[in-house]
Chains A and B, each alone.
Chain A
Amino acid sequence: MTDYRYIGKPIDRVDALEKVRGTARFVGDYHLPGMLYARCLRSELPHARIVKLDVTPALQVPGVVAVITSDDFIDHGRFGFPISDLFMLAYEKVRYVGEGIACVAAETPEAALAGTKAILCELEELPAIFDMEHALDPNAPQIGPAREDGKHPNFLGHFPVYDGDPEAVLVDCDAVIDQNYETVMQEHAYIETEGSLAIPTVEGGVLAYVSCQSPFIARGHIMRTLGLGETAARVINPPVGGSFGGKDDLNYMTAGQVACLALKTKRPVRMTFSREESMIASYKRGAMRMRVRVGADKAGKLRACHFKATYDSGAYSSQSPFTSWRASIHAMGPYRYDACTVDLTTVYTNNGFAGAFRGFGNPEVYAGIEQAIDELAEKLGIDPLDFRLQNCLRLGDTTPHGQTLTESVGLSDCLLAVRKASDWERKRAAYAHQSDPDRRRGIGVTALFHGTSLGAEGTDEATGTIEIHQDNRVTLTSGLTDYGPGSRTVYCMIAAEMLGVDIQRINIHLPDTNLAKDSGPTVASRSTMLGGNATRIAALNLRQNLDYAAADLLGCEVFQLQRAGESYLGPSEEPVPWEVVVEHARRMGLVLSTFGRWSAPKIHWDEEAGRGVPYFAYHFGAQIAEVEVDLRTGLTDVLNYYAAHDAGKVIFPQGAYGQIYGGVAQGLGYALYEDVDYMDGYLQSINFDTYLIPTSVDVPEINGSFVETHYSQGPFGAKNIAEPAMVPVAPTILNAIAQATGRRVRKLPANLERVLLGETLHKKGSPVSCKVALKSV
C-alpha cells in the first residue's frame, strides 16, 4: 500500500472558507458601474408560430436601452450538439412555455420587465403534443423540422443494445416478470438560479461570467453566434451554486443573450433568473415509460431481459441523444444474461424540454430494471440480495454489450458491505411478519453499474496546467468547473502529492477560457478521472524539471534523490529546501510552467448493431433503504439508508462522502415527492412551496462506505462518484415500500396516493401561475 501524504487523507475544501464567510461572489452578487439588467420575453404558449415580433415599442419604455431577437445573432443563434436545434432566442416558432423570444436590457429590472411587456409579439397557436405515447402517431402535430431520412419529425432517435434473442430465452424461463414502469420529470433545484454577466472589452469583445457547467462550451456558442474570435470571447466561471447537469444549454442561451446585449450597448449586462423563471424556462430530467421483461430459471439464474422504453425529450433535443444512449447501455442493470435486448426510442413533445441531469438517463432506467429484478426474485422465492449476488457482474464477465470486464469490478463487495452494515437478513426476515395495522416497515436493495466519463459519446480528454511563480506560489488551471462536488480540491491534492509540497502552496484559478485549456464538458462525473489525470501529468512534468535541478544542485543522479517533507536530499548532503531547488531550476533556465493532457482509453460503439465497448470503466454500487409506511396516510418515512460504492481509490474522502449523502438525498426526493407536472405544457409547480425537495427532517442518517478497487488508468487508481450515488435511490426506496405494504408503486414518485390507494389521482391544473410569473419581477 503506497503511503500518500494527501491522497485519501482528510483535507479542507479549497473554496470552503470564502463560502462560510459569505464572501464568495456568485454572478448575482456582481454590481458593476453602469450595469444593465436583462430580462427575456418568454412564450406563454406551448407551441406557436411567431407571426409578428416588433421590439420598437419596447425601446420607447423609459430605462430600456436595447432589445434583441434571434435576428441579432448569426444564423439566428442556432446551436446545440449533436443536434443543432436550439436558438439563442426563438426563431420562427416557440415549442414550449417559457421559451425565450426577445431579450431586453434596461437600467433597472423593473424597466426591463416593462420593456418585455411592450414588445409586440403575435403568436399563432399550433396544435401541441403532450403525451409521449402519441408523439409518433401519423397525425401528431409536427414539432421540429422534417427529417431528411423521412422518419417521423417527432422521432429523435433509437438506442438499442442487442445480445442474442431474449424472446427465445424468455419462453424457456421458469419465471418471467412483464411489467410497466414510469418515471416523471425532475427539476434540478439548484439553490442558485441561472445567471450570466457580460462585460464589453475595450478590444471590442466580451468577457462573460457564466454560472454554468462548461465554460469552453459557453465561449464556443458566444464566438459562433456573435462572430467573435477565440480571444475576443472570454468566459470565466464564478462559483456555481449547484448545477447537477442543469446549468448547461439553457444558461448558454443566457450567456449568449447578455453577451449580445453587452456588445450592443457597450455596457455590462447581467441577467439572473427568479425561481419561477428558472423553473418554467429550464430543462428537466426527462420522463420515461418502460416495459421490462426479465426471466430466470428456478435456481435463480437470470437468463433474459427485454427492455423497451419511450423517453420524452420535450421540445428540444438538448442532451437527449446522449442521455438516451447512456440509459440504453445501463437499462438491463449490472447483470449477466444469456440474451438481452434494449430498445429505447426518444421523441419530441411540448412538455418543456429535457436535458442533462445527474445520472443522465440512469435514474430513469434503474427505476424500471431494479424493480423488475426485485419482482422476479420475489416470484422465485429468493432473497433479492442473494439473487443480485448470484447474477451480478464480476471480474472477467462479459457484459450484454460484448465488453469483458478486466479490472476494478467491486459490485459483489458493495452488496456484501451494505448487507452487513444494514443487518439485512434479520430485518428482511422480521419485516416479512408484521402485525401493526397502522405502520409497516420494509427494507429494499438495489445494485448498480454506471459507466465512467463520456464513454463512446465523444472525444474524451482533458488538459491541466501548473506553474511556479516568482514568489514560489504554485497555481493550477483546469477547464473543468467545480459546481459543488470538490474537483478543485481534488486537483490541488493531486498536485501537492505529485510535487511533494505543502498543499497550502497551491492555488487553483477559477475556470477561465483565457487561462485554462479546453478540457471538454464538465459532465458525466469525469472531473476526477479526466481532470485529475491531466493535473497529475502536468505536475509530473514540472516535478521532473525540479528533480533535475535538485540532482544538479546536490551533485547526484535523479534516482538517488530523496525527499524529507518538501526538502530534497542527496546521498551525502544536508537537506535542500524546495525553494532553493526552485531557484536553482530558474537559474538553469528550466521551465517552471507545464501542462498535462490525458486522453481516455479508446472505445467504440456500433449504434446500429447495438454492440461494442461503451465505457472504459464502470463505477459499481449497492444501496439499501429501510422505510416505515403509515398505512393510514400513505406517508413513507425513510428510517435508514446504506450505500456502498466502488469509486476506485478515493482521493478526497470529505468530498466523496458528500457526494453519497447529497446523491441519496436527491434520489429520495425523486422517489417520494418530486414531480414536474406539466398540464397541457404549463408547469404547475413553479417554486419550492409546491415543488418539494427533501429538507433536513426528510433525510435519514446515511451510512456511506467505499469499496476501493484500484483502477489502473485512474489518477492514483480513482474512478468517479458524483452521479452514481443518486442513480439507484428511487428503486431502492420503492423496493422497501413494496416489502412494507405488499404492494408495488410502479410510477414515480411514490407519493401519498400511490402508496395509500395504489393509483394516481388526477389533479386539475391551470396555466395561470405560469403566465403571471412570466410577467412578474
Chain B
Amino acid sequence: MTKEWQVRFRVNGNSVMVSVPPMTSLAEILRQQLGLTGTKIGCNNGECGACTVIMNGKAVASCLVLAPQVAGADIRTIEGVGGDKALHPIQQAFLDEGAVQCGYCTPGMVMSAVALLEENPNPGEAEVKDAISGNLCRCTGYQKIIRAIRHYAAGR
C-alpha cells in the first residue's frame, strides 16, 4: 500500500488538508477529495488544458501537479472565480460573446484567461492566443473565446 502524504494548502481562500498517495495529481485531489468538479480532466497528460487552475498566480495544468508540490500553495479553481451570485467579468464576457458551446473546456479556458488578465490587463491578440494555446477546444474554433478576452480587456 502506498504511503499517504498529508498535504496542506489553500483553495479559493480556504485552508484545506488532504491525505493522499504522493502520485495523486492536484486535479484528482480537487475533484475527488474536495468535490471541486468544475476542474475537468480531458487528457491527463498536460496537453488539453481542461484541468487548468491558478497556482500561486500562474495558470497550470493541474493533472501534472503532484500532491507534494501542492503543499503550501495557493490554488484558485473555477469555483473561486466570481462568487455565488456575481460572475467574474470575464465569465460575463464569455456569455456575452457566445464563447461557450459544449462547455467542457470552458472552466480551464476561463482560468487561463483570468491568469493572463491579472498579469497583463491589456493583452494584444497574439498574447491572448498564446495564453490559451494550451487549452484545446474542439467546438468553437477559439474565435469567440479570443473576442471575449479581448473585449473584456478593452472594456476595463
Please state if A655 and B136 are interface contacts (CB–CB under 8 Å). Answer: no
Please state if A244 and B103 are interface contacts (CB–CB under 8 Å). Answer: no
Please state if A699 and B42 are interface contacts (CB–CB under 8 Å). Answer: no
Please state if B47 and A662 are interface contacts (CB–CB under 8 Å). Answer: no
How near does chain A come to B31, taking the closest CB pair, in angstroms?
Answer: 8
Interface range on chain B: under 10, 10 to 19, 20 to 34, or 35 or more?
35 or more
Q: Would you call B8 an interface residue if the criterion is a C-beta within 8 Å of the partner chain's C-beta atoms?
A: no
Q: Would you call B151 an interface residue if the criterion is a C-beta within 8 Å of the partner chain's C-beta atoms?
A: no
How near does chain A come to B80, taking the closest CB pair, in angstroms?
Answer: 10
Residues of A within 8 A of B91 (CB): 20-21
Instruction: Work out how many contacts link A and B, with CB atoms closer than 8 A.
Output: 169
User: B102: which of A192, A275, A666 is its contact (CB, 8 Å)?
Assistant: A192
Task: Render B63-92 as a binary contact track against A, CB cut-off 8 A, 1 for contact.
Answer: 000000000000001110010000100010
Q: Would you call B58 an interface residue if the criterion is a C-beta within 8 Å of the partner chain's C-beta atoms?
A: no
Please state if A193 and B42 are interface contacts (CB–CB under 8 Å). Answer: yes
Q: Most chain-B Cβ atoms within 10 A of its Cβ — which of A24, A662, A689, A696?
A: A696
Helix, strand, loop or mixed for chain B's interface?
Answer: loop
Please state if A26 and B104 are interface contacts (CB–CB under 8 Å). Answer: yes
Please state if A275 and B42 are interface contacts (CB–CB under 8 Å). Answer: yes
Please state if A15 and B45 are interface contacts (CB–CB under 8 Å). Answer: no
Residues of B within 8 A of A564 (CB): none
Residues of A within 8 A of B130 (CB): 696-697
Q: Would you call A81 an interface residue if the criterion is a C-beta within 8 Å of the partner chain's C-beta atoms?
A: no
Tell whether A190 pairs with B43 under 8 Å between CB atoms, given A16-B94, A484-B139.
no
Give the interface segment out of A235-243, A608-616, A742-750. A235-243
Complex CA distance for A430 and B132, rounded to whole angstroms:
34
Residues of B within 8 A of A483 (CB): 102
Please state if B35 and A31 are interface contacts (CB–CB under 8 Å). Answer: yes
Please state if B47 and A687 are interface contacts (CB–CB under 8 Å). Answer: yes
Q: Would you call A128 an interface residue if the criterion is a C-beta within 8 Å of the partner chain's C-beta atoms?
A: no
**A691: nearest residue on chain B (CB-CB)?**
B47
User: B98: which of A15, A243, A655 is its contact (CB, 8 Å)?
Assistant: A655
Please state if B40 and A21 are interface contacts (CB–CB under 8 Å). Answer: no
**A11: nearest residue on chain B (CB-CB)?**
B98
User: A666: which of B31, B40, B138 is its contact (CB, 8 Å)?
Assistant: B138
Complex CA distance for A149 and B41, rounded to whole angstroms:
48
Please state if B77 and A654 are interface contacts (CB–CB under 8 Å). Answer: no
Q: Would you call B14 an interface residue if the criterion is a C-beta within 8 Å of the partner chain's C-beta atoms?
A: no
Complex CA distance for A483 and B39, rounded to whole angstroms:
19
Please state if A658 and B101 are interface contacts (CB–CB under 8 Å). Answer: yes
Residues of A within 8 A of B142 (CB): 661, 665, 695-696, 699
Q: Would you call A51 an interface residue if the criterion is a C-beta within 8 Å of the partner chain's C-beta atoms?
A: no
Complex CA distance for A341 and B49, rounded to whole angstroms:
47
Q: Which of A17-32 contact B (CB under 8 A)?
A: 17-26, 28-29, 31
How near does chain A come to B40, taking the closest CB pair, in angstroms?
Answer: 7
Please state if B37 and A192 are interface contacts (CB–CB under 8 Å). Answer: no
User: A20: which of B44, B95, B133 is its contact (CB, 8 Å)?
Assistant: B95
Residues of B within 8 A of A12 (CB): 95-96, 98
Q: Would you call A191 an interface residue if the criterion is a C-beta within 8 Å of the partner chain's C-beta atoms?
A: yes
Q: Would you call A189 an interface residue if the criterion is a C-beta within 8 Å of the partner chain's C-beta atoms?
A: yes
User: A693: which of B94, B101, B138 is its contact (CB, 8 Å)?
Assistant: B138
**B126: nearest residue on chain A (CB-CB)?**
A697
**A656: nearest residue on chain B (CB-CB)?**
B98
Please state if A688 and B141 are interface contacts (CB–CB under 8 Å). Answer: no
Please state if A662 and B101 are interface contacts (CB–CB under 8 Å). Answer: yes
Please state if B143 and A702 are interface contacts (CB–CB under 8 Å). Answer: yes
Complex CA distance for A275 and B48, rounded to whole angstroms:
10
How near does chain B come to A116, taking the closest CB pair, in angstroms?
Answer: 18
User: B103: which of A24, A687, A696, A702 is its contact (CB, 8 Å)?
Assistant: A24
Residues of B within 8 A of A31 (CB): 32, 35
Residues of B within 8 A of A655 (CB): 98
Q: Would you call A363 an interface residue if the criterion is a C-beta within 8 Å of the partner chain's C-beta atoms?
A: no
Complex CA distance for A241 and B141, rounded to whole angstroms:
15
Q: Most chain-B Cβ atoms within 10 A of its Cβ — which of A26, A193, A655, A662?
A: A662
**A20: nearest residue on chain B (CB-CB)?**
B91
Q: Which of B1-44 contact A (CB under 8 A)?
A: 31-32, 35, 37-44
Q: Would you call B59 an interface residue if the criterion is a C-beta within 8 Å of the partner chain's C-beta atoms?
A: no
User: B133: which of A188, A240, A243, A697 is its contact (CB, 8 Å)?
Assistant: A697
Tell whether A16 pairs with B47 under 8 Å between CB atoms, given A192-B42, A665-B142, A696-B142.
no
Please state if A661 and B42 are interface contacts (CB–CB under 8 Å). Answer: no
Residues of B within 8 A of A26 (CB): 40, 104
Known: A19-B103, A192-B42, A660-B141. 7 other contacts (CB 8 A): A21-B38, A190-B102, A193-B42, A661-B142, A665-B140, A665-B142, A688-B48
Q: CB within 8 Å of A: which residues of B?
A: 31-32, 35, 37-45, 47-48, 50, 77-79, 82, 87, 91, 94-96, 98, 100-107, 110, 128-130, 132-146
Can you show 5 pairs from A to B with CB atoms below 8 A apart? A20-B106, A484-B101, A688-B45, A694-B141, A696-B129
